[in-house]
Structure 1
């Protein structure tokens, strides 16, 4: 029987369906206005970092460029002028943090890795203060491997654990009597995709479907569940192990949504009601809305005059990226959702050319960069260029976190995306189909419709920073907010600089337009009646979890890929010593004067002494300096500050070991005061692993003694609750990448040039013409890889990889 269908496809806000038009228009108008209001109050910023390479060694420098965008068109953001870039350990301790200045959403910087940095997996993270209003899972996050100059060995693992297998019905649920797609996602114990095959059976052991995963443990099958039936999925892993899982139970009433995203230019949408729903809700009204990046791109209203609703939608309606379809009931209740990825051809057409594909060592090479939009129009944009030798620096093209896959895909999804560049490197029918299955298995919830429609979404807590700022709360000693409190900020760097302000009704205060250089501030708070019985609590950037290294979970073994790189760096260190290098003889000190540590002596002999603290600022924090030098001690960051734990206490008192006691000039200090100390404040540090009983007050058995430079007038006194000190490192001033020139013969030319990053330039500008850049090759032969990433003034993204040989 041929089913008739009454529906309306809305090209504009209004529709003209008899008896349904006014209600239609009212709901759609309210929904569009609510989303516009929400999006206006909560614009989304995204950050992408382009790195010079994927793997590093201790002593290397990480070079990067930040692109901060906003809106559905990914325009360069003018919301924030400051971004925060962090290097973290696998256990969330911050090794380095910088405030990066942004100009129209663009900034660049570098991180010098300590030569004594422990090898392993680290995380690079980037975000703006405004982004802190959203879930930290949306921060930029990328795992990097830092290898070992002494031993780089791959660990073999015998994985036999039961895989984690999940099932995702299209539209959110299975409906009895309605055919639906079910996506499958299988993960091994490291969180990586594990391929398998499966057989679906009912409770009478009848076979109803079978499947094989298509890509990285993901696949799909179709099923028409029957009333009264339960289903199991019997899987067989590649190693022959077999397991059984229950399929989600089907519902008797509801809708099945099917979206066909295989066509390059259009989407086919089919919505089918269950028999029971069609019988009881015949002629009821429903709405289908599709939004991308907070903007509604498609609306349709239809009645249940037939059991199914079908439509074809032109993909030109949508921007490239994730689109979220939602089916609403007439009362505004969201019923089903389906997320799709739209791959329109909006990327920039980039072209890199040179004189030839073959070059010589130390030869100057010149390149031209040409950028056009999809319609072949010249454009203006900002780009970054990295050049490495592929033979010595590991490259995993499919796993690379690029400006395309990050800003269009991974930045909008909380879950980990394995091999994100697979879906963008060579787009085919297969990659499109695999990407659609990926969308079926991933969550996309920038907001909840119910909260938006009820206008009950949370108001932003963190301000968009136009400059450096210090913010926080004034509270009573029992934690209640102090409204109308008086707050003063003072620094004496480069003369006296003082500001004052008043807290709002929640006790909140902020100081903006602070000096860009590093400075130490004193912040004092009083009540509106000048009473001192208050405390200052600053907003902190600490305390975010790494959400399991969202862009590289588990132990994907890239350390072994660094073996050639390790040999290259080791050779570079060995050969870089020249004739002017002098090996000093050992000097024996016969006598010494009293030092601060003699004054604050303790009964036990120290297990470790650190006395090479710099007297001048180096840009390194005290916690980072100690973290790479303390033996058998782990540093952990929290919202309160940095704490230290010995391996012994971690093993004995896991999962809640007591932190080490930290003493400054003989007085116990807490993590907050420790975090306020400068590296240059400290003369020396000693570690005592006591053999006595545990301190019952602090729970600590081990002690870290810090001795300040009292003789230089920089001793720190513990803060009182109403007066605190805060050290700002200021806005980071990026260093310039050194690229040697061999135009003229000089003495330095005799040293081997074994650069691992051949060239880095974050300041390439294409202004409706060809941009040029040039550099000299290193001494290493091999395949040189030129990677260009960037964005134009309209938010169009581009990336290109160019290879040439050095012989």
Structure 2
């Protein structure tokens, strides 16, 4: 058969007629009505422990639509997965689309799975315009109060109607506990409370429930004042698979060969790899299969009068026969062999007859190519240069003369997985507490970049929680229900992207929805989250304005209320050092008669979002069958002593600097054992002491100012959470051999500026933790994003060859 080649040169083609202008306008309306989230937050790792500091950099991406100055404050909330409870939240300053910060994981946080939920202060229709979610896991660095595990008594069997589950609880040294343990468990629609027996065991008989969205039995154990969680997916018998067929372009057309992609997942959207048989009118014609991604492809020359079905060869599935889409008597079939391309898109069009089409390339935000095309032959092979098409996911839609879609296909334009930054360490293997020299080579960087750099222990990065700026910007933020590719970066796996684009469509909108868009759909109510307040005198509204004073550092600022006593804060009034409270008090005589009330809209927003946005994360099976799995290994933590109460004066070690009583003072300030004021490496350490006014400590800008305290009854003075400055990462050389140095993040830099074709040199030290470490660099240029990583190993002295 003879092929006819066409090349469509974009620069020589103009938009034709009012119909095409109307389509472009509707796409523009759709962009305004359905914007894509443009916030990414780089956290230093995704597994933390109690008392550990979370470091992060937030980037507002793709700013052509957003006014950066409208986003002034970034809020970060820690939300527990098991019950969507809000554990902690903080606020940070945004400047020019960037925010830097850190958050201390509270000592009291129960181990398990959490989310760090970030959002900005700008509201659109009552909801934050920019939201980002990062799943994390919190482990503990202290011995658990008790050991607990959960297991199935019998091997899984499809024929069993019940599951026998045994829960066992002992002391840390495997002895019986003195009292029963309270057990609260939930599975499907069942939620009950029970107690362990004298041997610390509880046998549960749980009837199977079919096709559960959440397959886990979730158990909360409580012994005296201590709690722990366990979870395990239970066998449910035969499950119903979710099977979808995707004829390339959209339809099967009689007597035209089509490529059909298909996908098999379970109720948790996890891929299922299997084999199957393709039937035509109940007669087998082919054997097909899906891979580890749950995706497969096969060719089909369809017959209009035939019924095509697929029978799955898997005994654990309840339903095994699925019908393909109906075959059309006429239509257009599109074939794109490579959908992840660089500068040119090649495609083949097949049709039964001559017909006039319109070919459009767009991203549902902007139409880049809009041309008429005359299909004079049954087969046409086209090549489309992509010089004017932006990098990322785009769509080619072919419509008839009435703008009815005939075929559509996703593709990725200007794909390039070459690193823009190359990292080099002076060695591949290091000793503990040895200096590392890291060089960042920017010879491939086309323009200035700003990046955040994390050097962390590799086992503090789990694939389940992984997220990188390239994959999020170009893939995850555009497509729904992305299965894991078994690698850290989805973007860098080209073969995976090819398969995903054959079975995934646009998440937020379709061509039909775009056609129905109206100008009124673009109207929005714009607002912002604020911190406001009111002052009353003797519990009654004021009749005259008064002055208030606020401080969070050494600067005191004056705020004037309205005649009714109302006031709000501008951003500079609220900024304070991390870990410090803002203080507000009445600057007037007879102040004890005044009452100040603060309304922090961020607190309500964090609580609301923890119940809505955080719960949208897909449920996956969680194999936490032993609570010791959430305890750090011995080579990753210092020995922790049990907490004791000191009832009399004891001799304290002598220090060079003067120190006060144990712990932190009422302002939250403390000095660690190495004379560092508010040292993030030793937050909540039992050896901390209170700073003394007038003394200059390491890490402070001058003599420590006296911490003034006020009683709770004094309502003319209030303390509240302001907007935080980021705290600089403390680089340590660990030269003191007595200081434990079990730090999994050994280097963090929130805003390194890299110049094109230049090298940047960095130095830091390894800690006492051995094993593999990973250098992760993420950031932005004017037009693109950057992600790269490198590994090195830390060994004990004497182990390096």
Category of TM-score, reference length = shorter chain? 0.5 to 0.7
In the alignment, what sits opposite 1:357?
428
Secondary structure (helix, strand or coil) at the match of 1:27 reads helix
Secondary structure (helix, strand or coil) at the match of 1:109 reads strand
- The 2-side partners of 1:356 and 1:411 are apart by 37
1:67-109 CA-to-partner distances (Å, cap 9, x unmatched) read 210158x999666333333322224333233333222222122
1:766-807 CA-to-partner distances (Å, cap 9, x unmatched) read 134322222221122222222222222333423222324343
User: How many residue pairs end up in the alignment?
Assistant: 613
In the alignment, what sits opposite 2:333?
256
1:397-444 CA-to-partner distances (Å, cap 9, x unmatched) read 6962111111111011233442385664764xxx42x32221233231
In the alignment, what sits opposite 2:14?
14
Uncovered stretches (5+) of structure 2, i.e. residues with no partner: 150-230, 533-543, 551-557, 576-580, 586-598, 650-662, 670-709, 797-801
- Return closer, same or farther for 1:756/1:537 CA change in 2, 3 Å cut-off: closer
- The 2-side partners of 1:71 and 1:711 are apart by 48
In the alignment, what sits opposite 1:593?
none
- Return closer, same or farther for 1:225/1:303 CA change in 2, 3 Å cut-off: same
**Alignment partner of 1:117 out of 85, 109, 112:** 109
- The 2-side partners of 1:34 and 1:205 are apart by 45
Alpha-carbon contact 1:321-1:342 (below 8 Å) kept? yes
1:577-626 CA-to-partner distances (Å, cap 9, x unmatched) read 9xxx9751499xxxxxxxxxxxxxxxxxxxxxxxx9996589xxxxxxxx
Alpha-carbon contact 2:457-2:745 (below 8 Å) kept? yes
In the alignment, what sits opposite 1:697?
none
**Alignment partner of 1:246 out of 323, 337, 347:** 323
Give 1:700-719 correspondences, 5 Å limit: 711-713=713-715
- The 1-side partners of 2:437 and 2:66 are apart by 30
1:435-479 CA-to-partner distances (Å, cap 9, x unmatched) read 2221233231445556656543623535486xx6469xxxxxxxx
1:222 corresponds to 2:222: no
- Return closer, same or farther for 1:584/1:135 CA change in 2, 3 Å cut-off: closer
1:232 corresponds to 2:300: no
1:789 corresponds to 2:770: no
In the alignment, what sits opposite 1:179?
257
In the alignment, what sits opposite 1:191?
269
1:367 corresponds to 2:438: yes
In the alignment, what sits opposite 1:605?
none
1:766 corresponds to 2:757: no
Give 1:592-611 correspondences, 5 Å limit: none
Secondary structure (helix, strand or coil) at the match of 1:496 reads strand
**Alignment partner of 2:242 out of 164, 174, 181:** 164
CA deviation after TM superposition for structure 1 residue 305, in Å: 3.3
CA deviation after TM superposition for structure 1 residue 235, in Å: 0.9
In the alignment, what sits opposite 1:435?
497
CA RMSD of aligned residues (A): 4.6
Alpha-carbon contact 2:772-2:791 (below 8 Å) kept? no
Give 1:68-467 correspondences, 5 Å limit: 68-70=60-62, 80-90=71-81, 91-129=83-121, 139-148=131-140, 150=144, 155=232, 157-158=234-235, 160-162=237-239, 163-202=241-280, 204-237=281-314, 243-261=320-338, 264-265=341-342, 266-273=344-351, 275=352, 278=353, 283=355, 285-292=356-363, 294-342=365-413, 344-345=415-416, 348-372=419-443, 376=444, 379-390=447-458, 393-396=459-462, 400-419=466-485, 421=487, 424=490, 427=493, 431-432=494-495, 434-447=496-509, 449=511, 455-456=518-519, 458-459=521-522, 461=524, 463=526
1:130-172 CA-to-partner distances (Å, cap 9, x unmatched) read 5856999984323212235525868475465423322233233
1:236-273 CA-to-partner distances (Å, cap 9, x unmatched) read 23869872223233344443332221675432223334
Uncovered stretches (5+) of structure 1, i.e. residues with no partner: 16-23, 472-487, 502-509, 523-535, 588-611, 619-682, 684-708, 717-726
- The 1-side partners of 2:456 and 2:148 are apart by 20
Alpha-carbon contact 1:137-1:547 (below 8 Å) kept? no
- Return closer, same or farther for 1:240/1:553 CA change in 2, 3 Å cut-off: closer
- The 2-side partners of 1:260 and 1:784 are apart by 39
In the alignment, what sits opposite 1:779?
768
1:686-738 CA-to-partner distances (Å, cap 9, x unmatched) read xxxxxxxxxxxxxxxxxxxxxxx86333799xxxxxxxxxx984423222323
* Structure with greater proportional helix content: 1
